[in-house]
């Protein structure tokens, strides 16, 4: 996950006031403590969130109402459009930019790419230059490699779609609204289902077995978007293959927020989790403060304790980790991988890429592993 959900803005708190972020009215929460109503908590992965029933998906409509699409959110030569997402029980709409790269030759399928942090940047250009003070500076070589990788897939018959959440990060809630990432993940899950039912179906590509098909790739917070879509929203029936790199950091985020040994993150990560409960970037929320009173609420929302199901009989899942990744999310990735396997998901594997950091687009080896997964069966 990125060190904050929106480094391109002046801060989440300001952005939230300006645009009105996602909020689930069904939670009925105020600003004073996590509360115990609404979803309830669960420490059992078999019971999981929503009492063992997948969360409902929302709806997608054309147009985002944000005016001109920023050039950094649309690759040159691609076709870009805006959509708006409405979720049941969610007070405020969310908006996304879809960067669509058309396939050439015989059409084989569609691959969706989800970026890290709050998902408010292109997957292909989310990598930043290393070093202090460069968090807003895109790594030009990694961006070139990312764009070239997408072009390669398009040349092999795959339509590519990069999802950019703009202007509101998918995992951010407005001040005082304790929505949580489980409910906020309705937006990415709904867009994935919509892309499958519209763009993918229109391609007429229906490969046999477990081939892509309809596949998804996500890095860091993008991996969390995928994990929630599979385990909270039941999209395993439509996703042929998934690649989760650098995450999902939300797997056991409750343990990180409780400062449990072996599960903590690098400094700066905790604001991402607090942002989902209405705490701004300039506020030390309960996760950053390791507030024990929030434990049961966090367990309801983490990918593992809140999951409805880990069984993915018809989805190939690849976890990728960089040997030089400093974020501390590896135990979370391993835990989620293990539970998928123990639930009977027989097409799950994990790879560690030597000399790769958290930015997979900066690693030719990491990109090759993604391509092998997409082209495989």
| pLDDT tens digits along 231-245 | 999 999 999 999 999
| Residues in a beta bridge with 316 | 241
Angstrom distance (rounded) from CA 224 to CA 236: 14
Question: Which is more confidently placed, 92 or 25?
Answer: 92
Mean pLDDT across 83-99 = 87
Question: Which is more confidently placed, 66 or 125?
Answer: 125
Return the pLDDT at 66: 67
Superfamily of domain 12-28+39-375: Alpha/Beta hydrolase fold, catalytic domain (3.40.50.1820)
- What is the chain's mean pLDDT, rounded? 86
Q: What is the pTM of this model?
A: 0.87
Q: Is 63 in contact with 84 (CB distance < 8 Å)?
A: yes
Tens-digit pLDDT profile for residues 37-51: 333 333 233 445 456
Return the pLDDT at 1: 56
pLDDT confidence band for 14 (50 / 70 / 90): very low
Tens-digit pLDDT profile for residues 115-135: 999 999 999 999 998 774 545
Domain ranges of the chain: 12-28+39-375
Of 57-66, 91-100, 158-167, the range with the lowest mean pLDDT is 57-66
Of 26-30, 69-73, 134-138, the range with the lowest mean pLDDT is 26-30
Tens-digit pLDDT profile for residues 48-65: 545 679 999 999 998 866
Return the pLDDT at 266: 85
Return the pLDDT at 341: 97
Q: Is pLDDT of 108 > 60?
A: yes
Angstrom distance (rounded) from CA 171 to CA 60: 18
Q: Is 74 in contact with 97 (CB distance < 8 Å)?
A: yes
Q: Is pLDDT of 356 > 70?
A: yes
Q: Is pLDDT of 8 > 80?
A: no
CA–chain centroid gap for 367, Å, is 18
Angstrom distance (rounded) from CA 246 to CA 123: 13
The percentage of residues in the chain with a pLDDT greater than 70, rounded to a whole number, is: 84
Return the pLDDT at 3: 42
Tens-digit pLDDT profile for residues 291-345: 999 999 999 999 999 999 999 999 999 999 999 999 999 999 999 999 999 999 9
Return the pLDDT at 77: 95
**E-only strand ranges, the chain:** 59-62, 79-86, 94-101, 109-114, 158-165, 214-219, 241-245, 316-322, 348-353
């Amino acid at each position: 996950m990125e060190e904050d959900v929106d480094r391109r803005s002046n801060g989440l708190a300001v952005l939230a006031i300006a645009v009105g972020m996602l909020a689930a009215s069904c939670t009925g929460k105020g600003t004073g403590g996590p509360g115990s109503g609404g979803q309830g908590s669960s420490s059992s992965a078999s019971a999981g969130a929503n009492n063992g029933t997948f969360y409902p998906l929302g709806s997608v409509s054309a147009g985002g109402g944000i005016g001109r699409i920023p050039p950094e959110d649309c690759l040159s030569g691609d076709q870009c459009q805006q959509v708006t997402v409405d979720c049941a029980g969610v007070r405020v709409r969310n908006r996304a930019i879809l960067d669509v790269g058309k396939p050439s030759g015989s059409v084989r399928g569609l691959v969706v790419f989800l970026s890290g942090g709050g998902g408010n940047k292109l997957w292909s250009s989310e990598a930043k230059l290393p070093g202090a003070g460069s968090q807003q500076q895109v790594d030009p070589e990694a961006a070139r490699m990312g764009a070239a990788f997408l072009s390669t897939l398009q040349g092999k018959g795959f339509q590519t779609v990069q999802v950019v959440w703009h202007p509101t990060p998918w995992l951010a809630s407005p001040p005082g609204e304790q929505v949580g990432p489980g409910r906020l993940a309705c937006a990415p899950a709904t867009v994935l289902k919509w892309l499958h039912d519209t763009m993918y179906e229109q391609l007429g590509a229906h490969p046999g077995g477990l081939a892509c098909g309809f596949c998804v790739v996500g890095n860091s917070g993008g991996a969390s978007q995928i994990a929630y879509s599979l385990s909270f929203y039941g999209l395993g029936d439509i996703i042929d293959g998934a690649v989760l790199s650098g995450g999902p950091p939300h797997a056991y985020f409750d343990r990180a927020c409780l400062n449990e040994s072996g599960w903590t993150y690098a400094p700066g990560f905790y604001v991402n989790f607090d942002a989902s409960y209405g705490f701004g970037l300039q506020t030390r929320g309960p996760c950053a403060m390791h507030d024990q009173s929030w434990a049961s609420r966090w367990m309801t929302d983490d990918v593992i304790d809140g999951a409805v199901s880990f069984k993915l009989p018809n989805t190939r899942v690849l976890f990728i980790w960089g040997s030089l990744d400093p974020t501390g999310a590896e135990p979370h990735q391993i835990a989620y991988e293990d539970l998928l396997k123990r639930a009977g998901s027989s097409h799950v594997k994990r790879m560690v890429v030597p000399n790769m950091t958290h930015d997979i687009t900066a690693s030719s080896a990491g990109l090759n592993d993604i391509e092998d997964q997409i082209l495989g069966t």
